[in-house]
Chain A
Amino acid sequence: MSTTRPTTVEPGATELSSWGAIRLVAGREITTRLRSKSFVWLTVLLVAAVVLGGVVLNLASSSGPSAQRVGLTPGTAPLAQTVTATGDALGTQVETVEVPDEAAGEEQVRDGDLDALLTGTAEDWTVVVESGLGETLGPVLTTMARQTALADAVEELGGDPAEVSSEMATAQPSVRTIGEPSEFDPARYVTGLVTGILLFMAIMISGQLIAQGVVEEKTSRVVELLLATVRPWHLMAGKVLGIGLVGLGQVALVVAAGVGTALGLGLVDASTIDLGAAAAWALVWFVVGFVSYALLMAGLGALVSRQEDVGAVTTPVTFLMVVPYVVGVSVAPWAPDNPLVVWLSYVPLCSPLLMPVRIALGSAETWEALLALGLSVALIPVLVWLAAKIYSNAVLRTAPA
């Protein structure tokens, strides 16, 4: 006799593991977020802001004093090399232009095509200017005049002017630093500032989304239907995971746009900053900061039943975020080694907003970053426990109408 299998298995029914439940909840959050117009627009705006900011910065930095044009007659033409070199040594870009004769040169000075004209000979020259030597060209030509005078004097004393000038070129003041070396690096400053603002915005917005999502489920009462199927912590974990992944994607996009703009426009060429490392750290800190704050927001969100109350109940957490944020963007860029900045950057819940700024500014050693990361990660299990407890107890309780 043939054996028939009992057909008691439900069609299409499968066992739903915890991970399966969390994944489903997270999937719904991701779909909902990606379909939301406000989310898409916010992302577009953030990317546009970062790219445009880079472009504006590039224009601003390249619109500084343009090259000084110095005309040289055939008599002074041999000075071309000296003029440019002296300008470089003094940080002034000088462009030399050969003119056929003195009259033509004077004409160009009068027209404003040339900032100055050197006439005479290489040994004995005169500067022709419209009204006076500017502050930029003045020091260059003064230095040249002094060198010429020095060379004459050395020669009169029987020395070799070339030998003297080469010795002078290598002479350096002996410097001893007694304070902290404070070298202002605009690229680092901007990166630190942008990192601080971006992380604050991203964590704040994602955290608010979590709290609003929790309250939405309470307000619409759908939570009772959900909790008849999945455990409270599945729901909370799925929500944090889903919104977190969307947030991470958003931050990664903005960071990539920022790094791309900076590299494309050469904004960081003159800086010592490692943009890749700063970007990677920003993403790591977003994850840590988001998880910490999202858990708090989920727990607090469960305490209220109306969207209007979300702001009030999350105020303590918002305040907790604003303090390191303000310190991060207003104190840290100017005084990266301020004790308040340094100490707060180790405190969990503050470090996600402060440490990436210090890293971007280059004021944090790697061990400091790792220590702060370790402390923050260590706090997460505590937050998970706390948030799950508050959430489970409060999520089904609604305030009396």
Chain B
Amino acid sequence: MATLEIDSLTKSYGSVRALRGTSFDVRAGEIFGFVGSNGAGKTTTMRIVLGVLAADAGEVRWDGRPIDADARRRIGYMPEERGLYPRMPVGDQLTYLARLHGLSAGAARDAMTRWTDTLGVAERRGDEVQKLSLGNQQRVQLAAALAHDPDALVLDEPFSGLDPVAVDVMSDVLRDRADAGVPVVFSSHQLDLVERLCDRVGIIRDGEMVAVGTIAELRRTETERWVVDGPPGASWIGAVPGARAVSLEGSRTVVELAPGSRAGDAPGGEQAVLHAALAAGPVHEFAVVRPSLTELYRDVVSSAGADGAAARTETKEEVPA
């Protein structure tokens, strides 16, 4: 398998600049979560990857080479606008689509059987797609993306409209494909799901990637924050040079170690905080505070013109990691 590289894509619709130099890559065997608000450019990026749209500038590479029609045919794609022939039976439709992706008639039929079994729509093979519930149509749509055993998966909002069981099935399938070495990229607004499922995440805002990295990387803050559950902070915080109380609520104190201070720069500088707190009374909890993906996302997409993932505001709610 290979890496799917999205390099400096730009695209304008009239005067609207949908993409302004979007770049990221999806490596073999990883699940890449592509998040951003509506209209940020996720669907446009995916359509360009699949060749359904042409970019104004920039390049999509597969295995180090500009992607071509043959490579695209080996991608499994789930468009944002779900689409199947409404009056064509499920089985025939999946077989047809798999054959369009280059499978022989027999292999296509086998794949159709396998995926309808896996995704729990086996008993609907003979039914017209329009007779299925939306959730089942979605499963068929995923089967259509998977049936030709793709080299890469590009899925636009694959989880929207699925019940919890279907979400689990879908998650397992994506993990399984990634473990088989397939690069998987999907967009979603369900950030808890992205956080749980993805190896790396990219956040897009107004056509620009504002953060790309592993969840851990994104959550690593520029200044470390620690939560102390113990004696009220006001009584001991002054004893730690470079420490500043971000919030003081009863027994819970959130402390920030400013860079440039002795404690902030030295490795293990947080130990001074713990010692100071213990000196004042018993400590029940001491942990590093990391923002959730949801918080990161809110920050990133709401701070217009801010400098990416590092931009934080003091007002946000923080939870222990």
Residues of chain A having any CB pair with chain B under 8 Å? 10-16, 21, 24-25, 28, 31-32, 216-217, 220-231, 396
Contact = CB atoms under 8 A, between A and B. Distances in A.
Interface residues of B, number: 38
Nearest to A12: B107
Contact of B102 (A13, A221, A223): A13
Given A10-B149, A14-B103, A24 B83 contact: no
A304 B149 CA distance: 34
Interface of B: 47, 50-53, 69-70, 72-75, 77, 79, 81-88, 92, 96-97, 99-104, 106-108, 110-111, 144, 148-149
8 closest Cβ pairs, A-B complex: A12-B107, A221-B83, A222-B83, A221-B81, A228-B50, A224-B79, A16-B102, A228-B77
A225 B149 contact: no
B49 to A, nearest CB: 9
A225 B103 contact: no
Contacts of B70: 15
Contacts of B97: 225, 229
Contacts, number: 82
Contact of B149 (A13, A223, A230, A231): A13
Contacts of A220: 83-86
Nearest to B73: A229
Contacts of B77: 225, 228
Contacts of B86: 216, 220
Given A32-B88, A222-B85, A21 B52 contact: no
A210 to B, nearest CB: 16
27 contacts: A12-B110, A12-B111, A13-B107, A14-B103, A16-B101, A24-B100, A25-B100, A216-B85, A217-B85, A220-B83, A220-B84, A221-B81, A222-B83, A222-B85, A223-B83, A224-B52, A224-B83, A225-B77, A225-B79, A225-B83, A228-B51, A228-B72, A228-B79, A229-B72, A229-B73, A230-B100, A396-B53
B51 A11 contact: no
A231 B70 CA distance: 11
Contacts of A217: 85
A59 to B, nearest CB: 43
Contacts of A28: 88, 96
Given A12-B104, A12-B106, A396 B52 contact: yes
Given A13-B149, A231-B69, A21 B100 contact: yes
Taking each of A25, A223, A228, which has the highest tally of chain B beta carbons within 10 Å of its own beta carbon? A228
Contacts of B87: 32
A14 to B, nearest CB: 5
Given A10-B149, A221-B81, A227 B52 contact: yes
Contacts of A223: 83
A248 B293 CA distance: 60
Contacts of A13: 74, 102-104, 107, 148-149
